[in-house]
A and B are shown apart, each in its own frame.
Chain A
Amino acid sequence: MIPIYMSIALAFTISLLGMLTYRSHLMTSLLCLEGMMMSLFMMMTLIATNTHSPLINIMPIILLVFAACEAAVGLALLISISNTYGLDYIQNLSLLQC
């Protein structure tokens, strides 16, 4: 396996673990989501560079568009939670427990 793909996959894995194991803030999860998206962007850019076909070059940009949209939606939800509770602590989201 080519080392650069391995290192970016490692970055993805670390961001994924950071998304799944958060301590107190919701913002951490959103940041790790963005981290995952960025590592995927880098991998896709490498694929687009190494595949010498002009049609694939648009793919990283489309991925970036969806990253931005998801970040916006995530932040809007964070603000909506922060409006009622004042903070973005995860332990506040416990209304719907069984």
Chain B
Amino acid sequence: MNPLAQLIIHTTVIMGTLITMLSSHWFLAWTGLEMNMLAFIPILIKKTNLRSTEATTKYFLMQSTAAMILMMGIISNTLLSGHWMMTNYASQLPSLMMTIAIAMKLGMTPFHFWVPEVTQGTPLTSGLLLLTWQKLAPISIMYQIHMSINTHILLTLSTLSIMVGSWGGLNQTQLRKILGYSSITHTGWTMMTLTYNPTITILYLIVYIILTTTMFLTLNLNSNTTTLMLSHTWNKSTHLTPPMTFTLLSLGGLPPLTGFLPKWITIQELTMNDNFLVPSIMITMTLLNLYFYMRLIYAISLTLFPTTNNTKMTWQFENTKPMLLISPLIITSTLLLPISPMILAIH
């Protein structure tokens, strides 16, 4: 893309999210979401092939429907309460419409069908922005109205998201689809504690963004998009093999790594509110999530896939992809568990 056009488009995406996050007027929040969506479409369709066009169309249809439902909720809220401020005490019908609209924007079940397909059809860096940056604005809206959201509906949406995200990712070999289903699962975990303690939602979101960014950037180094391409990592760039395995384990939520921290705090918060069945279901379903990460680790490090390469190690060329942020991201995504006393002190 033309660098000037790219600058304008990326700036508009960032500005849209910032307008939504910093506003207290409903109309301005909606405007930020619209700006974000309209400017994100060219990023998705950067490479003009058939799959990109299809993915972009599906993304556009879903997001614009969600924006319309959100606007209907906003107007209903105005009619019923008389003002346009984003407060914590909206009435039931507008709150329900807003929850459903934001669930559509985030890709929670039962509105999750677009996430794997859109993540699959777009380049890896666009998929990165799709799964990380595009979550910030809707979650900031949910954070501002968290007291008026019906807890039962949110718990149902989240639990179903975790189930669908875990079961759906089992039959995939395309890495972007796996990361799409992983995003559905983690969004379910993120929204679980919104009505109990929204600080934990923000914690989960931050850790999830760090982990997903690490995954996408390391996958981008060799342009890995399938499991078969991942299996060549030991040969092509051996230095990437341990970081990738540890990041995948961290995504799955295993204890000495960072990914365990938000899950632990979420479960603690739910059990402190006398809710025992839901965390049990959550944990059991997330094991399936860990299973398909383990399958990727198996492909990266524990087996040798059949390959046409005869030499044990290829000549190591200098990498031309951007490697700027990967080292601090890998360190943050695996070694951040010792800060947990600081998080627990927030209670």
A residues touching B (Cβ–Cβ < 8 Å)? 5, 9, 12, 16, 19-20, 26, 29, 33, 36-37, 40, 43-44, 47, 59, 62-63, 66, 69-70, 73-74, 77-78, 80-81, 84, 93, 95-98
Contacts and interface: CB of A to CB of B under 8 A. Distances in A.
Counting chain A CB atoms within 10 Å of each CB, the highest count among B34, B54, B65 belongs to B54
Interface of B: 27, 31, 34, 38, 41, 45, 48, 50-51, 53-58, 60-61, 64-65, 68-69, 71-72, 75-76, 78-79, 116-118, 120-121, 168, 171-172, 177
B79 A96 contact: no
B51 A81 contact: no
Contact of B57 (A5, A20, A93, A97): A93
A43 B121 contact: no
B54 A93 contact: yes
B53 A5 contact: no
B64 A33 contact: yes
Given A5-B79, A81-B53, A16 B60 contact: no
Contact of A77 (B50, B51, B53, B72): B53
B51 A95 contact: yes
Contacts of B48: 80
Nearest to A93: B54
Contacts of B65: 16, 19-20, 33, 36
Closest 3 CB pairs of A and B: A96-B117, A36-B68, A93-B54
Given A36-B68, A98-B171, A47 B78 contact: yes
Contacts of A33: 61, 64-65, 68
Q: Is the interface of B mostly helix, strand, loop or mixed?
A: helix
30 contacts: A5-B79, A9-B76, A12-B72, A16-B65, A16-B69, A26-B57, A33-B65, A33-B68, A40-B71, A40-B75, A47-B78, A59-B27, A62-B31, A66-B38, A69-B34, A70-B34, A73-B41, A74-B60, A74-B61, A80-B53, A84-B50, A93-B54, A93-B57, A95-B50, A95-B51, A96-B55, A96-B117, A96-B118, A98-B171, A98-B172
Contacts of B41: 73, 77
Contacts of A96: 51, 54-55, 58, 117-118, 120-121
B64 A74 contact: yes
Nearest to B48: A80
Nearest to A97: B117
Nearest to B76: A9
Contacts of B31: 62, 66
Contacts of A29: 61
A45 to B, nearest CB: 11
A87 to B, nearest CB: 14
A39 B172 CA distance: 41
Nearest to B80: A1
B27 A77 contact: no
A47 B117 contact: no
B117 A44 contact: no
Contact of B34 (A26, A59, A66, A97): A66
Nearest to A84: B50
Given A40-B72, A77-B45, A96-B117, 15 more contacts: A12-B68, A19-B61, A33-B61, A33-B68, A37-B68, A69-B34, A70-B34, A70-B38, A73-B60, A77-B57, A78-B57, A95-B50, A95-B51, A95-B121, A98-B168
A43 B120 CA distance: 38
A26 B54 CA distance: 12
Q: Interface centre among B55, B72, B177, by most A CB within 10 Å?
A: B72
Contacts of A40: 68, 71-72, 75
B54 A69 contact: no
Contacts of B79: 5, 47
Contacts of A62: 27, 31
Contacts of B76: 9
A59 B74 CA distance: 13
A63 B53 contact: no
Contacts of A44: 75
Q: Which of B34, B75, B79: most chain A CB closer than 10 A? A: B75
A70 to B, nearest CB: 5
